[in-house]
Chains A and B, each alone.
Chain A
Amino acid sequence: MVLNSQLPYNIVQTDNLTYMFITQSGVVYTAYFIDISEVFGANSVYTFSFEAAGKTVKDERVRITIIQILSDFFQTIRNSLIVICDSCDSREKSRFKLFQKWYEATNNFSIEKIDVSIDSEEYNIRSSLLIPKTHPQAREIKELFDEWTKMGI
């Protein structure tokens, strides 16, 4: 039997722009993907993040819901994801940890994760490329990601 507390929240699409879900405590979360394929230089490359409007409370179902969205995203093996966390915001650090946990918790070894750090005077960025191992352009995308990283900011 699956308890409610183990289920993701109901996710809805809003105006073909973002996804939204509302927690039991009434916090509205917006999750979104940005298509960065053109600038990155390869097809179906996205970045992902989520934001809460209002004061948040610890809620395991938020993690489960985010995992659900990302798991659904990787049902398409041609999708790849670049997660970028700007460490000037402590909540971004938490999000990066969340993504780390998600990756570990899923035990999904079909998704490769490559972590990098990019530091400059203005930015301390932690980034991960998440890509299915069976992605037809995996090698090219990993090379491009490496190039971007070496270029710095």
Chain B
Amino acid sequence: MKTQEKKKLHIFQKIVEDKRAIRECIQTNGDLKKLAKKRGIKFATPVQYCSD
């Protein structure tokens, strides 16, 4: 419960921090998969387009 409360308090902060990390990763041509694993980011593709 305590963890849940802590998570709730920081949801917007987590999103902002994740976005900053993603920005840096993209701009330095880093590995987004590794970053996602490290930070627990759940990338999603809710819209379907052709794969590269």
Contact = CB atoms under 8 A, between A and B. Distances in A.
Interface of A: 11-20, 30, 32-36, 38-40, 44, 46-47, 49, 51, 53, 69, 72-73, 76, 79, 82, 84, 86, 118, 122-123, 125, 127, 148, 151-153
18 contacts: A13-B48, A15-B32, A17-B36, A32-B43, A33-B44, A33-B46, A35-B42, A39-B11, A39-B14, A44-B46, A51-B23, A51-B27, A69-B47, A122-B13, A148-B8, A148-B11, A148-B12, A153-B10
Contacts of A122: 13
Contacts, number: 101
Q: Is the interface of B mostly helix, strand, loop or mixed?
A: helix
